[in-house]
Every structure is written in C-alpha cells, then in structure tokens.
Structure 1
Amino acid sequence: MNEDNEFPEAGSADDELADDLLEEELRQAAAVLDTVPDALRQLALDAYALHDLDARIAELTFDSLVDALPVRGVPDAPRMLTFSAGEVTVDVEVTEDGLIGQVLPPRSARIEVLGGPQTARPLAVDTLGRFTSDTPPAGPFALRLRTGAEVIVTEWLRA
C-alpha cells in the first residue's frame, strides 16, 4: 500500500493475492451453498461413461407424448417412440411392464437398454427384428443397437 491510497495499485502482488483469496472464498461458498446433487452428478458421469464415439445417433422422430393426440378413455396409454438412423428404424413401446420394440428393416442385432454403466441389459432380437424387456426403464435410458460392425445409439429419454 502507498500513503495516498488505502488500496494497493492495480497489478501489484498484493492485488493478485487479494484476487486469489477472493476466488477461493467464492469457490468455497459455491461448494456449500450451490452444490450439484449427487444423483445429478452420477447421471452425468454415467452418461459420459456410456458414450460411444463410433456409434451413429438414432434421432427421435416420433414421441407419443408430444406428437400423438390423446385417446379418450385411455388414461395410461403406453408411450410410443420411433428412432431413425439412416435406413434403420427402431420402434419402441414403453409401458409400466417393460419395453416392446422392433428394428426395421429386420436384421440380426443385439440391443442393450442403457441406464448407467453397470445397468446395460441385453435384449434378444428375433428374426423379425422384435425385442422385449420385462423390466421398465427407471430414469433416463437409451438403447444401443449392434448389428455386426455397426453401432447405433438412441437419444437419451426419461421413462
């Protein structure tokens, strides 16, 4: 500090130290007052761990929650989803009892329901491209389709 001013000159070592201390105090305050919930942090880590750099993304082209008209007298209609990646289409029906779907055009494939790194559940695909799961997805999920050398991953959705 100099005699004429109460504050150090800009760019001085004292000024840099004060900035560093203020930054550290703000980091500590944010860590206490604005924490990221553990569940959200884990979901982000799980989603990142599951990304597949060589996979094609199957875009959501139909979602009955958004694109369909409500049916009178059907309070809990199943959610219908359609994903497309080039010539491959995946139709999925999500119910409280699980998943029912079909890969079109029919082909031999392996499908996994993704919900976290430890929760990938493989599903059998028959010769007509159909697959089922008796376990409904809990929380965000995606499907990973493997057909020989090709890998297709759907967008992530909440069940």
Structure 2
Amino acid sequence: MSDLNDEFDGFDRLDGFDQYAAPGESDGDPDGELHDGLLEEELRQAAAILDPVPAELRRIAVDAFALHDLDARVAELVFDSLVDGIPVRGEADPPRMLTFRADGVTVDVEVTADGLIGQLLPPGPAGIEVLSGPRAHARLTADDMGRFTGAAPPAGPFALRLRTGREVVVTEWLLA
C-alpha cells in the first residue's frame, strides 16, 4: 500500500501541471468561472454560425416576451359556444361567443366573419389589443359602457390584452 501512496505523491510535484484540477483552478480561478464563460461564448458563436435562429422565429420570441406583463391578470375562458353552446337550428354560420373572467373583470366577445364585438364588465373605458402572434396587433378602444368592436376577425391563434387604467388583463389564447 505504501508503494501506491508513493506513486501518487509524485503527481503534486509536477511543474505547474495538475491533470486533476478543475478548469481554471490553475489560473487562479478556483471556481472555473473564467473557463466556463469562455466556453459558453465559444459555443454561442459556433451555434450562431452553424445553426442560426431564423429572423422570423427571433421576432416571434421577442413579441412573446413583450407579452410578459408581471402585473397582468390572466382571464380564463369560462364559456365557449363551440364547446358549451347549444346549436341553433337553421343558423348556417353562427357567431362564436366567448366569455373570459379574471377576478372582478368579465370580457364577453362575439367573433363573427365581420370581426369582433365585445363588452367589458364592469363597464368602463379600456385600450384593447388583439394579439395574433407575429402579425401586428389590432388596437381597439372600449367606450364608457365597456363596448368595443374590431373590423377584422382574428385568423389563427389570438388573445386579448386589456388595459383599464393601471390594470392589465390578458385572456387565454384561442384558435379563431
């Protein structure tokens, strides 16, 4: 056993080389942070060259991050006429009725081929954005009675972001 210990004692006497040291330890960086940071930067550069993020995907990611409102309340879908409604006989293309709720705020929305019609409860003025992924957001305004309309119906996934004074409410995303 002493022969084995003598053999390993020689490792710590090598001139500045310690094969068992963590990266950066021999450079005066005991945690290896300098080495890790350089490695991370090299990997970033390699990924940017070999597998770049498409410009459209980058823009969508930035838009999605912009939706991140720390103070926003999420209004949950509590009624959808496609799921909860009773079909009306003779109606070829009935409008889709949606109701969202967040605490004391209710948003009723009717989605038709002509656009959106809706009302906020309790009634009051609000700025409303129709969020639709990478496309530009349609901006609507609710009047003093909480009523709003939008000329273009959403195509694809959409959500509504309401700004009532200092309060922000965002609805769940739905497929139009």
Normalising by the residue count of structure 2, what TM-score does the alignment of the two structures yield?
0.63
Normalising by the residue count of structure 1, what TM-score does the alignment of the two structures yield?
0.70
Which of 158, 161, 176 is matched with 1:144 structurally? Answer: 161
Which of 46, 50, 58 is matched with 2:67 structurally? Answer: 50
Partner of 1:76, secondary structure, is: coil
Q: Superposition RMSD on alpha carbons, in Å? A: 2.5
Which of 57, 65, 68 is matched with 2:85 structurally? Answer: 68
Which of 99, 106, 113 is matched with 1:96 structurally? Answer: 113
Q: List alignment gaps of at least 5 residues for structure 1.
A: 1-37
Q: 1:118 Cα deviation (Å)?
A: 5.1
Partner of 1:65, secondary structure, is: helix
Q: 1:51 Cα deviation (Å)?
A: 2.6
CA 1:43/1:61 → structure 2, altered by over 3 Å: closer, same or farther?
farther
CA 1:83/1:42 → structure 2, altered by over 3 Å: closer, same or farther?
farther
The aligned counterpart of 2:151 is 134
Contact 1:107–1:128 (CA<8 Å) still a contact in 2?
A: yes
Any idea what the Cα deviations from partners look like across 1:63-95, whole Å, max 9, x if unmatched?
A: 000001111111210000000011110000001
User: Matches of 1:74 and 1:100 in 2, distance apart?
Assistant: 19
> 1:65 is aligned with what amino acid?
L
Contact 1:57–1:155 (CA<8 Å) still a contact in 2?
A: yes
> 2:94 is aligned with what amino acid?
A
Contact 1:49–1:117 (CA<8 Å) still a contact in 2?
A: no
Give % identity.
68
User: Matches of 1:42 and 1:131 in 2, distance apart?
Assistant: 32
Partner of 1:107, secondary structure, is: coil
User: Matches of 1:71 and 1:42 in 2, distance apart?
Assistant: 44
Kindly indicate whether structure 1 or structure 2 has the higher relative contact order, using CA contacts under 8 Å at least 6 residues apart. Answer: 1
Flag the structure with larger Rg.
Answer: 2
Contact 2:99–2:107 (CA<8 Å) still a contact in 1?
A: yes
Query: In proportion to residue count, which structure has more helix?
Result: 2
Which aligned runs of 4 or more in structure 1 are off by greater than 4 angstroms?
A: 41-44
Q: 1:131 Cα deviation (Å)?
A: 0.1
Partner of 1:83, secondary structure, is: strand
Aligned residues: 124
CA 1:74/1:142 → structure 2, altered by over 3 Å: closer, same or farther?
same
